[in-house]
A and B are shown apart, each in its own frame.
Chain A
Amino acid sequence: MIVNQHVGGLLIAASLAVALIITLLPMPTPVSAAQPAFYTMTVLFWTANQPQRFGPIAAWCAGLAIDVLYGTPFSEHGLAMAVAAYMVVKGRELLWSFPLIQQSLLMLPVFAIYEFVLFWIDGVAGLDVNPWGRWLPVFTSAVLWPIWAFFLERIAELEVG
Chain B
Amino acid sequence: MADFSDDDTPRFLGRRIAPGLKIVAITIVSIVLMMVDNAHDSLSTVRGVLAVALEPVQMAAEIPGDAADYLKNYFDRDDLVHENEQLSQKLLLLQSRLQKLAALKAENERIRALLASASAIDRNVLIARILSVSPDPYRQYVKLNKGSVDGVFVGQTLIDAHGIMGQVTDVTPLTSRAILISDPNTGIPVQVNRTGLQTIAQGTGHTGALTLPFLPNNADIEVGDLLISSGLGGRYPPNYPVARVTRVVHRPGEEFLDVTAEPTANLNHGREVLLVWNNHGDGAQPASDHPGQSGKPAAPDDGSANDAKAP
Chain A residues packing against B (C-beta within 8 Å): 9-10, 12-13, 16-17, 20-21, 23-27, 29, 32-33, 52-62, 64-65, 68-76, 78-79, 82-83, 86, 89-90, 121, 125-130, 133-134
Contacts and interface: CB of A to CB of B under 8 A. Distances in A.
B19 A70 contact: no
Given A16-B1, A61-B1, 14 more contacts: A21-B60, A23-B135, A53-B6, A55-B19, A57-B26, A64-B50, A69-B51, A71-B170, A72-B136, A74-B34, A75-B34, A76-B30, A86-B19, A90-B19
A56 B57 contact: no
A45 to B, nearest CB: 13
A57 B57 contact: no
Contact of A56 (B23, B36, B37, B60): B23
B5 interface: yes
Contacts of A53: 5-6
A52 B205 contact: no
15 contacts: A12-B3, A21-B61, A24-B132, A25-B64, A55-B6, A56-B19, A58-B2, A58-B6, A68-B47, A69-B51, A70-B135, A74-B33, A79-B27, A83-B23, A83-B27
B5 A54 contact: yes
Contact of A69 (B7, B36, B65, B135): B135
Interface in B22-61: 22-23, 26-27, 29-31, 33-34, 36-38, 43, 46-47, 50-51, 54, 57-58, 60-61
- Determine the interface band of chain B, counting residues with CB < 8 A from chain A: 35 or more
A64 B46 CA distance: 11
Contacts of A9: 3-4
Contact of A89 (B19, B29, B47, B169): B19
Interface string B280-305: 00000000000000000000000000
A71 B57 contact: no
Contacts of A57: 6, 22, 26
B97 interface: no
B141 interface: yes
B121 interface: no
B173 interface: no
A56 B50 contact: no
B1 to A, nearest CB: 5
A125 to B, nearest CB: 7
Nearest to B22: A56
A70 B136 contact: yes
Contacts of B1: 13, 16-17, 61-62, 65
A110 B37 CA distance: 27
- For A10, A12, A24, which residue has the most chain B Cβ atoms within 10 angstroms? A24
Given A21-B61, A52-B10, A69-B135, A75 B185 contact: no
Going nearest first, the 10 A-B pairs with the smallest beta carbon separation are A9-B3, A24-B61, A79-B30, A74-B37, A13-B3, A55-B6, A128-B184, A61-B2, A75-B30, A53-B5
A32 B5 contact: no
A33 B137 contact: yes
B29 A75 contact: yes
A99 B61 CA distance: 33
Contacts of B26: 56-57, 60, 78-79, 82
Contacts of B29: 75
A57 B16 CA distance: 14
Contacts of A134: 138
B100 interface: no
B135 A32 contact: yes
A125 B23 contact: no
A45 B58 CA distance: 23
Contact of A76 (B10, B34, B36, B43): B34
Given A65-B54, A79-B27, A10 B3 contact: yes
